[in-house]
Amino acid sequence: MSFDDVTALQQRAAGLFTAEISPDWTIADKPNGGYLLAMLGRAAGLVGLHPDVIAASAHYLTTPEPGPVTIEVEVLRSGRSASQLRTSLQQDGRSCVQALLTTSRLDADSTAYWDRGVPAPGSLPMADCIRIPDRTPTGLSVAIMRQVDLRIEPGCLGFADGRPSGRGELYGWLALPDGANFDPCSLLYAIDAFPPATFEIEATGWVPTLELTGYVRALPAPGPVRILQRAQLIEARRVDEACFVWDVTGRLVAQASQLAGIKLG
């Protein structure tokens, strides 16, 4: 199923949508958090006056099951150049994800005025990177890896052999099903698509996202995107990670940070 299909919304009333979480976009039967945020981003783009999400901040309350969900959107402010919206994703009357979003209109012709540059050592073409398998070492299904083509550079794949590098970063590439192009909504998935960068520190179980903030900075060129996922601090059973997403031309198109739970520290 295409990304557009698995994030499709049915409008039920003003600011009220239903959607269906796909069982195929899951890790051990839990939907990916960026995939859920992309649904909220799509709803925000339909309700506000502006089509493109540029900032999204989500707090994850409880993990929904695959299946039907309800999405509510409330416009907080509509300006000339941006709309600000509050959204929530509910299942069986329970709020699962709450997010604040800002939408605007991204200009296909804009260019960077100033760029600090690539903070990552990654540089291999996608074909030289290793595709992540659809099963964890402990045998859990990572169904989403049968949908997307997610490849990690060999230089940060120590964890796959039980020998993490200790550097706490992962870099590589991501392509959508059938090589579909990325847009601001699917970039909200891209910022949470990679395995936890903590895999390159120490093996753990699930690293559930508590908070995820993403900025979409430009419309990406057609093709896959390059991603760097990097941990900064593990303390008190929580870890933060930064994420950078570049399009195939090397242009920085999205950035994110997240705070997640981890069974370390």
Question: Is 112 one of the binding residues for a copy of itself (CB under 8 A)?
Answer: yes
- Total residues at interface with a copy of itself (CB under 8 A): 52
Interface residue with a copy of itself, options 80, 93, 113, 161 (CB under 8 A): 113
Question: Is 249 one of the binding residues for a copy of itself (CB under 8 A)?
Answer: no
Q: Are 122 and 226 in contact (CB under 8 A)?
A: yes
Q: Are 52 and 106 in contact (CB under 8 A)?
A: yes
Question: Is 86 one of the binding residues for a copy of itself (CB under 8 A)?
Answer: yes
Question: Is 92 one of the binding residues for a copy of itself (CB under 8 A)?
Answer: no
Interface residue with a copy of itself, options 141, 165, 181, 257 (CB under 8 A): 257
For tokens 């994420």, the residue is 243
Question: Is 184 one of the binding residues for a copy of itself (CB under 8 A)?
Answer: no
Strands 83-91 and 149-152 turn out to be unpaired
Using CA atoms, how far apart are residues 251 and 168, in angstroms rounded to an integer? 24
DSSP string, 48-82: SS--EEEEEEEEE-SPPPSEEEEEEEEEEEE-SS-
- C-beta closer to a copy of itself: residue 13 or 114: 114
| Least distance (Å) between residue 36 CB and a copy of itself | 15
Give one word for 161, left, alpha or beta, with left for phi > 0 and alpha for psi -120 to 50: alpha
Question: Is 98 one of the binding residues for a copy of itself (CB under 8 A)?
Answer: yes
- C-beta closer to a copy of itself: residue 124 or 242: 242
Question: Is 201 one of the binding residues for a copy of itself (CB under 8 A)?
Answer: yes
Question: Is 102 one of the binding residues for a copy of itself (CB under 8 A)?
Answer: yes
Contact map string, positions 202 to 221, toward a copy of itself, x by CB under 8 A: x-------xx-x-x-xx---
CA trace torsion 214, 64, 8, 212 (10° rounding): 0
Q: Which stretch binds a copy of itself (CB under 8 A): 6-14, 64-72, 136-144, 255-263?
A: 255-263
Using CA atoms, how far apart are residues 77 and 58, in angstroms rounded to an integer? 18
* Pair of tokens at residue 130: 């290793």
Closest of 134, 125, 136 to residue 159, by C-alpha = 136
Chain contacts with a copy of itself (rule: CB under 8 A) = 54-55, 57-59, 61-62, 76-77, 82, 84, 86, 95, 98-102, 106-107, 110-116, 168, 201-202, 210-211, 213, 215, 217-218, 230-236, 238, 240, 242, 252, 255, 257, 259, 264-265
